[in-house]
Chain A
Amino acid sequence: MKILSCENVSIYYDDVKAIQNITFDVDEGEYVCILGENGSGKSTLIRGILGLEKLESGEIKFLNGTNKNQIGYLPQQTIVQKNFPASVFEVVLSGFLNNKGFKPFYNKKEKELAIQNMKKVEIEDLKNTSYKELSGGQQQRVLLARALCSSKKLLVLDEPITGLDPVITNKMYKLIKDLNKQGMTIIMVSHDIHFAIKNASKIIHIKNKLIFNGTAQEYEKSDIGKTFLGGCNHG
C-alpha cells in the first residue's frame, strides 16, 4: 500500500537547482535509503517531503490515510539547538506534541512512553541532564528518542549516525531495523552505502536528479551501484 508519492519534484534555491524531476513512491513497511554524494540534494529531498521546502514544481502526496502527525523526523542538528537550555526529558517529550491538539500538558502515559523511548536509545540516565552539556552523539540520540515519540507510521532520518561511535552506531541501526520489522516505514538519508545495501528494501540514489530507484540487490548489480560501492571502498 502506497503511503507517499513524489511526482516530478523539483526544488530550487534561488538559481541553484537542488533537485530536479524526482519521482518515486514509498510503500507501507518499506525501508528506503536515499544515497548520494555531498550536495546531491538528499537532505533537500527529505525536507521537501516534510513540507519544509517550497516545491518549484511537482507534487508530494501522503496517501491512504497517512498524515503528517504520524511522522517522526530526525533532522541534522542546527547551531541554535546545540546551546539550548533544555533537559533531555523536555526535548524527548516535545515529540508528542503533534498528537496533542489543543491539550496543553503531557499526561502520565506520554511521560512513561518517553522514558521507554529513552531506554531504547540508552539515554535514560541522562533524563535531567541539560541538552547543551551532552556530546554530539548523545544529542543525536536524544533527537532520535524524540522522533520515536512522534512517529506512528513513518520515521524520516537525516544522517542518523552522525557523531556516533561504532558501538552505538550498530545499536542504532539495529533499533531502526527492529522498528521496521514491527511495521514502521523508514526513509533514511545515509552515507553508509554498505549498510544501506544490507538493510534497506529500496535504494534511491540521487545526484540532483534521480539516477537509481530499485531494490538493494538491483542496486548492487547496477553500474551506478558498482561505481559508488567501489568508490567507497577506496575512499
Chain B
Amino acid sequence: MANLFNDLFSYEFIIRAIIVGGLVALCAALLGVSLVLKRYSMIGDGLSHVAFGALSVAVACNLTPLYVAIPVVIIAAFALLKISDNSKIKSDAAIGLISTVSIAIGVIVIALSKGMNTDLYSYMFGSILAMTDVDVILSIVLSICVLVIFILFYNKIFAVTFDENFTKATGTKAGVFNLILSILTAITIVIGMRIMGTMLISSLIIFPSLTAMRVCKTFKTVVITSGIVSVICLFFGIVLSYVFSVPTGACIVLTNAIMFLIFSIFKR
C-alpha cells in the first residue's frame, strides 16, 4: 500500500490531477447541492456539451481552449436559467436542445478541420495527461475564486435555493444570485471537463450531493459532507485509474456510485 502511494506521488501529472481535480470536485459538490435541489441537475450535463462545442471551435481556430469555452459556457448557463424561468419551453427540453446543437456544431467543425485529434478526444472522455502548466494554474486560481464566492454568498444561495419566490418578494435580487450560481457552475464545468470529460462531468455535480442527502438533514451538513465525499471519491478514483490503467473520469464516477450505495445502506 505504502509502495503504491510512493509510486503514485512520484508522477508529477498525478499530483497535478489530484490538486486540480480535488479543487474542481470540491467546487462541483458545493454547487451541486443547490443545483440538485433546484431541479437543475441536468444543467451540468447541458453545459458540458456546450463546452465541447466551444472547445472544438477553439481548437479549429487555434485558440486557447479555456479562454473560449469559459465565456461561451457562462452565456449558455445564463440562457438556460432564463429559459427555465419564463418560457413555454421547459428547462429539461431546453437543455436537450442546447446540448445537442452544441455537439452538432462541435462535430461539424471537427470534421471540417482535421478530424478528431487527441486533444478533442481527451475533452470527450477526460484525461489527466492533457493538462498544460497554464491549465493547471488557471484551474487552481478559478476554483479558489469559485470557493471564496460560494462561501461569501452561501446564505444567499441557500435562500434562493430554498424559496426563490420568497427572496424575490421580500426585496432580495434573486436573479443576481442565480446568475452568480450559473457563472460558478459554468467555470467549474469547463475546468472539470479536462479530467472528467464531456460525457461524465455532470456526475461530479449530482453524485456527491445526493450521497450527502442520504444521511444529512440540514443544508450546512449536506454541503460539507458533499464536499468531503467528492474529494475522497476523486482521490480514490485517480488511484483506481492508476492501478488498473483505465480512464480516470470513469473511475471517479464509479467511486462516487459506490459511495452513494454505501451511504444508502448506512441510512437504513
Contact = CB atoms under 8 A, between A and B. Distances in A.
Interface stretch (A24-32, A66-74, A117-125, A195-203): A66-74
Given A69-B171, A80-B37, A104-B152, A146 B166 contact: yes
Contact of A97 (B172, B217, B222): B172
Contact of A69 (B38, B152, B170, B218): B170
Contacts of A68: 169-171
B216 to A, nearest CB: 6
Interface in A148-167: 150, 156
Main secondary structure of the interface of B (DSSP, over half): helix
Given A80-B39, A98-B172, A104-B152, A90 B158 contact: yes
A51 B168 contact: yes
21 contacts: A47-B165, A47-B169, A52-B169, A69-B171, A73-B165, A75-B165, A80-B38, A84-B37, A85-B37, A85-B219, A85-B222, A87-B220, A90-B218, A94-B159, A94-B167, A97-B156, A105-B155, A106-B155, A128-B218, A129-B217, A130-B218
Interface of B: 37-39, 151-156, 158-159, 162-163, 165-172, 213, 216-222
Contacts, number: 98
Interface string A84-103: 11110011011101101000
A129 to B, nearest CB: 8
A71 B216 contact: no
B218 A86 contact: yes
Contacts of A81: 162-163
B87 to A, nearest CB: 12
Contact of A130 (B166, B171, B217): B217
A7 to B, nearest CB: 20
B218 A87 contact: yes
A61 to B, nearest CB: 15
